[in-house]
Amino acid sequence: MITIKSTQKTFTEDEISRLTGICAEHLRSVAQSKHLGSIVRAAGAVGGQAERLLFTHTDLSVLTALFSPCEH
Ligand SMILES: [Zn+2]
């Protein structure tokens, strides 16, 4: 059972990874294949922009329902 703050609207990859147990690498591929999360471009990275994934509560529910934590 995952407990989250109900006031929290979006989750970063790191948070999702910690909550679901799915590693960042798999999370990315899952997000891509299932069209979950939204990519935001964050300025500030050296040499340009960094792409970050943000997930909603709905994305989180889908991820926990469909995928098990990584076992590698
Ligand atoms: Zn993994």
Predicted pLDDT at 44: 66
CA nearest neighbour of 64 among 38, 35, 30: 30
Percent of the chain whose predicted confidence (pLDDT) is above 90: 67
Ligand 1 mean position to 7 CA, how many Å? 28
Ligand 1 mean position to 51 CA, how many Å? 20
Ligand 1 mean position to 26 CA, how many Å? 5
Predicted pLDDT at 9: 87
Could you give all domains of the chain from N- to C-terminal order, each with its CATH number? 10-66 (1.10.1660)
- Please, what are the averages of pLDDT over each run of 10 residues along the chain (72 residues)? 76 94 94 91 69 91 94 94
Sheet containing 38-43, strands listed edge to edge, beginning at the edge strand earlier in sequence: 10-12, 49-56, 38-43
Ligand 1 mean position to 5 CA, how many Å? 25
